[in-house]
Chain A
Amino acid sequence: MKFKTRSFDAAPSVLEIEDLTVQLAGNRTAAPVLDKVSLKIRQGETVCLVGESGSGKSVTSLSVMGLLPKGALEATGGRIGLEGRNLLELGPQAMREMRAQKISMIFQEPMTALNPVMRVGDQIGEVLDTHTRLPAREKRARVLDIMNQVHLPDVERIHRSYPHQLSGGQRQRIMIAMALILEPQLLIADEPTTALDVTTQKQILGLIAELQEKHGTAVLFITHDMGVVAEIADTVHVMKLGRIVEHAPVEDLLRRPREDYTKQLLQSVPSLTPRPARPEPQGGAVLSVSGLQKTYGAHGVFARREATRAANDVSFSIPRGRTLGIVGESGSGKSTVARCIMRLIDPTEGDIRVADREIARLSRHALRPYRKHIQIVFQDPFRSLNPRWTIGRSLIEGPLNIGADRKAALKRAAELLTLVGLPDDAVNRYPHQFSGGQRQRVAIARAIAMEPDVLVADEAVSALDVSVQAQVLDLLDELQKKLGIAILFITHDLRVAAQICDEVVVMQHGHVVEHDTAANVLANPQHAYTRALIEAAPGRLWDFANFRELKSA
């Protein structure tokens, strides 16, 4: 692993935040959202601000831009210095002039950050309209130039496209073009690659680095991903609950973290080293899928669209007590496979055998007795429990459907809660009284209550912070040991797959491109796409948990 090691001691500083305090508007007694945050960025430097959700990293960036939500948050102390001026003291007009000219920002969601009803060329051009007076022709030339600089293909066509006609990566390039067209001294990037696939992420990170080099821009990069930090940072600031707990040059921080919180954060990063092989399982498969296919949009009188094959000839089987991972980027068809297996959507072709019964073509009604054998945990912990129901009611819904006695089911529900590490009195509480990780535990308990043979985890830990993610992964592993359950683990994250899977299926564009043991897939990938995925994984040569280079690599 090569870290950036350039020293910035000599470089002039661009942004100096001193003791910045942000509080809830009109509520000075509540704990501050930002508590005396200090931070310095020098010319050409990349400063990473890393922390879990709620740590205040986004609030810090919005404060610099002067974009704190009005009436909700306000900066109550400290100073944000840029070119010797305190941004906190600027009036709205002066602050507007700083934006795009001196400081720019790109956001996490390229899907929603662009105006859907304006052509992207005009959106970039608007920056010039706002801050410069250029003749139309020169303006257009500059817009096309910056679009070329961010390596967009066919810039003439994209110039007149609307955001929805572009891919996520292209939209983020547009955002970057918009941010850098006036060559600001500081670029703030707030999780700019979090919503993107790893391969796209790699390109965007490369692009930011390239333009930074070219224009000498300072970058404040906000992320929760230690892998990204290892790849791009010069200096790292770790945030927790509105404070900066530690800051150091990147290599120092990763090799010799001082604070416990930093250590804990690093130790939660799942390793890309696959789990040790487990003894071969006894007995046959509890779930086997063969020739599964799902085709969309072939019917309809007026629909002249090509039928899209979301999943094509997918086959695999899972024995009792084992975990099989399906890994792929968005659009690979991995979730389609999961939803077909759950019969939430109907497969177009192929067999699904659960409990020695073919279920792919059963009617909804005939299917119901077989539902208990296979259960699912969804990605979003905030939407997967009925907010109007107590935890207990959610937990006994399934058992009641298969004829359990209510009293016995409630007793069992309390036991299940203990099993997943929650207090048993949680049965009488409502989902909103729990954190995301706790809700995910409840969702797992609800699935386990049916005593299924197979548990499908559809991106079940993707919405969680790394430390919570590690705990939920441990829980799944423990449940598997206790109950001998088979797990089908759908994920986009190779690190997570490496941690938990015995076997890995890699999917791309609806096809299975590789299927082997986790050790083989990660150490000795056969397919070019698998290799690309592994190479794109940020920080892949670093063993975060042990603060050192990865041994096997």
Chain B
Amino acid sequence: MLGYIIRRILAVIPVMTIVAIFVFLLLRLTPGDPAAIIAGDMATPAQLERIRTSLGLSDPLHVQFVTWVGLLLKGELGTSLISNTPVTQMIGQRIWPTFNIAVLTIVLSVLIAVPMGVLAAWRHRTWVDYAVMAFSVLGFSIPVFVIGYLFIQAFAIELRWFPVQGYAAPSEGFGKFLARAILPCLTLATIYVALIARMTRASMLEVLGEDYIRTARAKGVKETVVLFRHALRNAAVPIMTIIGTGFALLIGGVVVTESVFNIPGIGRLTVDAILARDYPVIQGMILLTSGLYVFINLVIDLSYTFFDPRIRY
């Protein structure tokens, strides 16, 4: 068991190494002068020079890599080309709104999606099932910003239930936070709910056909117990997996949603960095989110041992 945990944790190292190499090469292997790409068409030679020194682009590639990794291991992601502040500091200032919204979204999504999926599987081929499936296809098909604007139009502008845009930290009062966070969270949750509900349904359908479900029914166990005690726990591993891989979708959603709702999180930071071609910030964001993704999926992998005693590797 411990061996499995250690091996799983060690397996993170090659993945993160390759991500780092990839991020490093992304800029350096782009055809043309990277400094010119970053600076744009209107750059002066002095600006180009400043970018080159800032990113260390004049050194040989391997030297650049060693320096870059060295800084990375010390937790330094470089300095913004625009504001000249360290990227880590910029991320540190902006991460909390994103974190709060993301956590609320995940909790909300799981609470909505899992019962939806269970219900759909249980009432397979009835209107309940079709409704859940229709919702999930819709959730996949509407761009997240369109959903955001629809929500704003309906709930903020027409019904005036919530403020149109903006953000308040939970420390300013939880009600105030919730009033501003609920629309962005619902927006973000749409695709996540669609994804999880779909996987829950598929996984439950598979499990409900298993012999041990028939055994449970043969014991005279109630349907709710069959569904939640016997089936759901067996169906949990693929559901957990999709929650983990769906995290990448959530990141994409965060970037968009923060722009729509004007939330000062790291998503907005990224968008601003793209528009300004602030490469160190983009790079830092990719590393941060990839690291988070790998970490979350590691935790989920380890959680399998809780759901399924057979996983002991």
Residues of A bordering B, CB below 8 Å:
65, 67, 71, 92, 96-101, 104-105, 107, 109, 112-118, 126-127, 130-131, 162, 164, 175, 178, 302
B219 pairs with A67, CB closer than 8 A:
no
Give min CB distance, A175 to chain B, whole Å. Answer: 7
- Which residues of B from 211 to 243 have beta carbons under 8 Å from A? 211-212, 214-223, 225, 229-230, 233-234
Name which residue of chain B comes closest to A161, CB basis: B309
Contacts of A105 in B (CB 8 A): 218
Give min CB distance, B208 to chain A, whole Å. Answer: 11
A101 to B220, CA, bound (A): 9
Contacts of A127 in B (CB 8 A): 219-220
Name which residue of chain A comes closest to B237, CB basis: A117
Contact status of A117 and B218, CB under 8 A, knowing A71-B125, A112-B211: no
A130 pairs with B234, CB closer than 8 A:
no
A164 pairs with B218, CB closer than 8 A:
no
Q: How large is the interface on B (under 10, 10 to 19, 20 to 34, 35 or more residues)?
A: 20 to 34
B218 pairs with A100, CB closer than 8 A:
yes
How many inter-chain residue pairs (CB < 8 Å) link A and B? 73
Contacts of A101 in B (CB 8 A): 220
B215 pairs with A175, CB closer than 8 A:
yes
A126 to B66, CA, bound (A): 61
Give min CB distance, B23 to chain A, whole Å. Answer: 30
B217 pairs with A115, CB closer than 8 A:
no
B219 pairs with A115, CB closer than 8 A:
no
A104 to B219, CA, bound (A): 7
Residues of B bordering A, CB below 8 Å:
3, 7, 125, 210-212, 214-223, 225, 229-230, 233-234, 307-310
A99 pairs with B211, CB closer than 8 A:
no
Contacts of A71 in B (CB 8 A): 125
A175 to B214, CA, bound (A): 12
A113 pairs with B125, CB closer than 8 A:
no
A109 to B214, CA, bound (A): 12
B307 pairs with A130, CB closer than 8 A:
no
Instruction: Identify B233's interface contact among A92, A117, A131, CB under 8 A.
Output: A117
Contacts of B210 in A (CB 8 A): 112
Name which residue of chain B comes closest to A99, CB basis: B220
Give min CB distance, A9 to chain B, whole Å. Answer: 31
Instruction: Identify B234's interface contact among A99, A104, A117, A131, CB under 8 A.
Output: A117
Contacts of B230 in A (CB 8 A): 115, 118
Contact status of A164 and B220, CB under 8 A, knowing A107-B215, A109-B211, A113-B215: no
B212 pairs with A126, CB closer than 8 A:
no
Contacts of A107 in B (CB 8 A): 211, 214-215
Give min CB distance, A68 to chain B, whole Å. Answer: 11
Name which residue of chain A comes closest to B212, CB basis: A115
Name which residue of chain B comes closest to A96, CB basis: B220
Contacts of A97 in B (CB 8 A): 220
Contacts of A112 in B (CB 8 A): 210-212
B212 pairs with A114, CB closer than 8 A:
yes
A178 to B215, CA, bound (A): 10
Instruction: Identify A113's interface contact among B211, B225, B307, CB under 8 A.
Output: B211
If A105-B218, A127-B219 are given as contacts, then 19 extra A-B residue pairs at C-beta distance below 8 Å, sorted by A number, are A67-B217, A92-B223, A97-B220, A99-B218, A104-B218, A109-B211, A112-B212, A113-B211, A113-B212, A113-B214, A113-B215, A114-B215, A117-B307, A130-B220, A130-B222, A131-B220, A162-B309, A162-B310, A178-B219
8 sample A-B contacts, Cβ–Cβ < 8 Å, listed by A number: A65-B218, A67-B214, A101-B220, A112-B211, A114-B212, A115-B216, A126-B219, A175-B215
A126 to B229, CA, bound (A): 11
B218 pairs with A67, CB closer than 8 A:
yes
B212 pairs with A116, CB closer than 8 A:
yes
Instruction: Identify A164's interface contact among B211, B214, B222, B309, CB under 8 A.
Output: B309
